[in-house]
């Protein structure tokens, strides 16, 4: 059991592999989402020509919104993963972006995309909340 707070090359390799797997999975889900969105738009266009029932159009619009919302979440997820991989390339991975202190290995294992240590993350979230209020 490694008790030091320094990321070893082995730790980084494991975390990078996890992030790359996640990146592939997210890109795959996004491609799937875009196909769904494309099919929904297409079927709607066809039905419009045939005088479709308004209720059907409503359901399809809801489905489109749902897929669009999912794509937005996936996009944010992908950005987080990309940022984490960028930090690995720049050797700033595992360094808190706010206080420049080390992010604990335990936290990185749980949340490989973490860009802040737990204290700074709490402060950050508190700031976001007060800004939104």
Stretch in the footprint of Zn ion (CB under 5 A) among 39-47, 51-59, 78-86, 94-102:
94-102
Q: Does 126 bind Zn ion (CB under 5 A)?
A: no
Task: Output 67 or 103, the one with its CB closest to Zn ion.
Answer: 103
Rounded Cα distance between 132 and 5, Å, is 35
To Zn ion, the closest distance from the beta carbon of 3 in angstroms equals 21
Q: Determine contact, residues 57/47, Cβ cutoff 8 Å.
A: yes
Binding mask of the shown chain, residues 38 to 77, with x at each position contacting Zn ion by CB under 5 A: ----------------------------------------
To Zn ion, the closest distance from the beta carbon of 85 in angstroms equals 20
For Zn ion (CB under 5 A), the number of binding residues is: 6
Q: Does 94 bind Zn ion (CB under 5 A)?
A: no
Task: Output 48 or 119, the one with its CB closest to Zn ion.
Answer: 119
Q: Does 96 bind Zn ion (CB under 5 A)?
A: yes
Q: Does 117 bind Zn ion (CB under 5 A)?
A: yes
Torsion angles phi and psi, residue 90, rounded to 5: -90, 5
Rounded Cα distance between 40 and 62, Å, is 10
């Amino acid at each position: 059991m490694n008790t030091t707070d320094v990321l070893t090359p082995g730790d980084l390799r494991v975390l990078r592999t996890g992030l790359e797997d996640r990146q592939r999975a997210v890109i795959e889900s996004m491609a799937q989402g875009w196909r769904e969105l494309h099919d929904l738009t297409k079927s709607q266009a066809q039905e419009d020509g045939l005088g479709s029932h308004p209720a059907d159009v409503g359901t399809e619009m809801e489905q489109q919104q749902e897929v669009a919302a999912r794509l937005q979440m996936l996009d944010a997820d992908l950005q987080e993963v990309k940022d984490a991989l960028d930090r690995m390339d720049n050797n700033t991975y595992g360094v808190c972006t706010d206080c420049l202190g080390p992010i604990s290995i335990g936290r990185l294992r749980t949340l490989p995309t973490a860009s802040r240590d737990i204290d700074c993350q709490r402060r950050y979230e508190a700031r976001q909340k007060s800004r939104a209020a």
